Amino acid sequence: MRSHIEIAQDAIDLVMPAISKLFERTNRQELHIVIMDPRVKPWEASFEEAILYQASLGNPNQWTTPFDDFARNKARQAWRSSTSNIVAQTLHTSSLSDDDLLFYGSFTYGDVVVACSGVQQWYDMLISGWIALAFEQICMNEYQTSKSSNPTKTLRTTR
C-alpha cells in the first residue's frame, strides 16, 4: 500500500483540474494546502508533528498575505476540535482561542482534516472538502485493493 504522504499528493493531483477551473472565478490564484495526519490525535502529538503534507499553489515568494500561516491556523482549529473551523466561527465561538484566525476554510471528513487559504474562505473550504474526500476515498481504494489481493493479511503496512 502507498504511504499516506503519497496518497495526500495524489489527492491534490486528482482535484487539481477542479481547482484550476475554480481559479477562473476566485479573487486570486494562490493557495496553501495543509493535510493533517488522520492517524494522529491532538493528545498524541504537537500540531506541527501531526501535519502530514503541505503544498503551495502560485508563487509564495510573491504573496502579500501569509496564506501558509493562515492555512496552518485553520488546520489547527479544525484538528483541535475535530470539526471544520466554520463550526467554531459560526456556532461555537466560545471555543475560539485568542490566536485563532477569524476566517474559515477547513474541512473535516471523519478523521481527515484539510485546510486551505488563499482564495475566498468559502472556496478555501470547498477545495479543502474536495481534497479530504479524495484522500479518504483513495485510502479506501488502497485498503480494498490490498484486502482483495491478500485476504489473509493481518496488518496494514506500507511499501
Q: Is residue 75 a contact partner of residue 114, using CB atoms and an 8 Å limit? A: yes
Residue 142: the pLDDT is 94
Rounded to whole angstroms, the maximal C-alpha distance in the chain is: 53
Better-predicted residue by pLDDT, 156 or 52? 52
- Going by pLDDT thresholds of 50, 70 and 90, the confidence category of residue 154 is confident
For residue 158, the model assigns a pLDDT of: 54
- Supply the pTM of this predicted model: 0.94
pLDDT level of residue 153 (50, 70, 90 thresholds): confident
Tens of pLDDT, residue by residue over 123-142, are: 999 999 999 999 999 999 99
Of 64-68, 140-144, 148-152, the least confident: 148-152
How many CA atoms are closer than 13 Å to the CA of 122, on its beta-carbon side? 3
pLDDT digits (tens, 9 = 90+) for 100-114: 999 999 999 999 999
- List of domains in the chain: 4-149 (3.30.450.150)
% of the chain with per-residue pLDDT over 70: 98
Residue 98: how many CA atoms within 13 Å on its side-chain side?
Answer: 0
Residue 152: other Cβ atoms inside 10 A: 5
Residue 36 to residues 8, 17, 65, 94, 153, Cα–Cα distance (Å): 10, 22, 22, 24, 27
